[in-house]
Structure 1
Amino acid sequence: MGVHHFAIATKNFEMAHHFYTQVMHFPLVAGVKRQAPGGGWTKHMFYDIGDGETMALWDLRGIEGVQLDPDSWRSPISTGLGLPRWINHFAFNCKGGEEELQQRKRNWLDNGYHVSMTDHEFIRSIYTFDPDGNLIEWTYDTRPINEEDTRYAHEILLDDSPATEGDYEGPFVRSTVEKYKPAPKPLPEPVK
């Protein structure tokens, strides 16, 4: 069973749209514009992430000033909740393995996004942050998950002693390119 879609709110919809269409190469495939429960209106825009699955971006400008204060809400899924920025994240599959991962890395760097890389036990990943500060990952399986992996998962599930193995380490590459930054748009007048 796959994921139909996940949806995230954006602080700057135009920057997020550019990131997901031009940097991640997820085409816009559908959208809904409706009045919002509680007042105002929203756009719910859907992007193809592959294999018939989508993600959606919320453009909430129509409810800012009606249901929420535009200066007080935070869009990152981790830091907006008071967590470190690396906790909650979105991981996308590189079905083309290492070759595709390197292409995705180059694309992020060419668009002004810094990249870190990590080799996990059974996957290899690169990471960057989207314009809203959400951690985004491209990853691929380096080997199939096996019975030993499952046994170890069950073992550590029951083990509440502190970890003794250090955090993952991997290279970090800074981009030298400036990111896309659109001119700010004024907020629409609230619908009364």
Structure 2
Amino acid sequence: MHYTGINHLAMATGDMDGTIRFWRDLLGLRLVAGLGRPGYRHYFFEISPTDMIAFFEWDGVEPIPEKDHGVPVRGPYAFDHVAIGVRDRNDLFEIKDKLEAADVWVSEVIDHGFIFSVYAFDPNGIAIEFSCPVPGVDVRAHPAMVDKRPSAVTLEGADPVPGTWPTVTRPTPLSERRIYPGEGREILAEEE
């Protein structure tokens, strides 16, 4: 398998226009696809050549309460924040300046040792982090584990461990591979 990045993260909004103003007009992400019908919209913003963030607009969706990034919670919980990478600290300060000029709360630049980050919230209450690499530090090339109490599974290392899941014994033959129609095929009709 060859992963190319996050195709898209799918969020929810009750105000697509406000979401477009923030993500497209303030942050500068291109609006590259939009699906819709009464009571439903699904719009996609380009983060990079391989990554997007998308929003469903449904009636009745309200902004979530702002929760500080990375602060522990109890009970059912699945999502903390979106972290978007930028090239360097110049881009990071440009984002910080844009958010401050728009009167959107944004943190100071934080040095995490391997990345520099700023934190903010979008109009839907979604916690966002913008990060750039610290020059000379690359945890992808040189993984680092400084957890003082790592689990036994963690101590197995950075690379996938073969044999922990069942192996595929019957790959889907080419003759049986089917792709079924779903939402969004109308975009193809628009391009023709």
Residue correspondence of structure 1 range 121-160 to structure 2 within 5 A: 121-142=113-134, 143-145=137-139, 150-153=144-147, 155-158=148-151
The 1:131–1:51 alpha-carbon spacing in structure 2 relative to 1, beyond 3 Å, is: same
CA RMSD of aligned residues (A): 2.4
Pairing partner for 1:91 from 70, 83, 86:
83
Identity %: 24
TM norm structure 2: 0.63
Asked if 1:103 corresponds to 2:74, the answer is: no
Pairing partner for 2:106 from 95, 103, 115:
115
Gaps of 5+ in 1: 35-39, 62-69, 160-192
> What SS does the corresponding residue of 2:150 show, helix, strand or coil?
helix
Could you say which residue in structure 2 is the equivalent of 1:7?
10
Asked if the contact 1:91–1:139 (Cα under 8 Å) also holds between the matched residues in 2, the reply is: yes
Cα distance in 2 for partners of 1:17, 1:146 equals: 33
Give deviations 1:25-83, integer Å, cap 9, x for gaps: 1111111125xxxxx7311001111122211111112xxxxxxxx3xx5443xx48xxx
Give deviations 1:75-128, integer Å, cap 9, x for gaps: 43xx48xxx442411111111x11111111111111111211311121100111
TM norm structure 1: 0.63
Aligned length: 137
Q: Which has the higher contact order (CA 8 A, sep 6+)?
A: 1
The structure with the largest alpha-carbon Rg is 2
The amino acid that maps onto 1:141 is P
* 4+ residue runs over 4 A deviation: 146-149
